[in-house]
Structure 1
Amino acid sequence: MRFHTALARLVANVYMSVNNELETMMFALFQTIDLALNIYTWILIASAIFSWLYAFNVINSSNQFVNSVGTFLYNVTEPVLKPIRRLLPNLGGIDISPIILLLIIFFLRTLLWTTVYPLVA
């Protein structure tokens, strides 16, 4: 009788340990995804500010460092912004695609923590 009780306790402890480790790993995965979305949000904001500064000649466009920063920001954000721009109507000189993308990122982050994570954890 004692053997069965000890075996049941051992199985329960192993199950709880594996379950806790799995929950910790899922939490770490969700935090990493959230951090990546947060970093991309700041890159998107930096790209928008950089484009304004470049358009109004506030920064020196012939500077190599400025050009490399601009190229990096353009290459990182343009693949995501281009499909959004195709869906939006022509608003003249106003580009609201970064705002739409920020709203999408906000929605994904909220969905991640309020709906997906509680289902998985």
Structure 2
Amino acid sequence: MRSLLWLIDNVITLYVYLLIASAVLSWLVAFNVVNVRNPVVSQIGEFLYRVTEPALRPIRRVLPNLGGIDISPIILVLLLFFLRNLMFEVFASLA
């Protein structure tokens, strides 16, 4: 059971890193630091979009429009940390 918790914890951590990378890349593109016409940047951006957008889309539907600010990655990271901590608390109470 511990190995399953370890795996879930690491998957959540990896997904949080992907969310952060996606947010940072979107900022770099918005401020013209990186060019999306570069094939490598384009592939990385497409990968990050395809991995993170399915989880962010439902949150964006619920959130009101805040202008140019997108806080959905922050909310998703908080939810993932909450789920991870809840998972460990439930396991600790069962053990």
TM class by shorter chain equals over 0.9
2:2 paired with 1:27: yes
In structure 2, list runs of 5 or more residues that go unmatched: none
TM-score, length-normalised on structure 2?
0.96
RMSD: 0.9
Give 1:61 deviation, angstroms. 1.6
How far 1:119 sits from its partner (Å)?
3.6
How many residues matched?
95
Matched AA of 1:35: N
Query: Runs of 4 or more off by more than 6 Å in structure 1?
Result: none
Question: Tell me, which stretches of 5 or more residues in structure 1 are unaligned?
Answer: 1-25
Deviations 1:53-107 (Å, cap 9, x if unpaired)?
0111100221100000000000000000000000101111110000000100110
Measure the CA separation in 2 of the matches of 1:100 and 1:29.
25
AA of the residue aligned to 2:60: R
- Aligned match for 1:76, one of 35, 38, 51: 51
Q: Which protein has the bigger helix share?
A: 1
TM-score by length of structure 1 reads 0.76
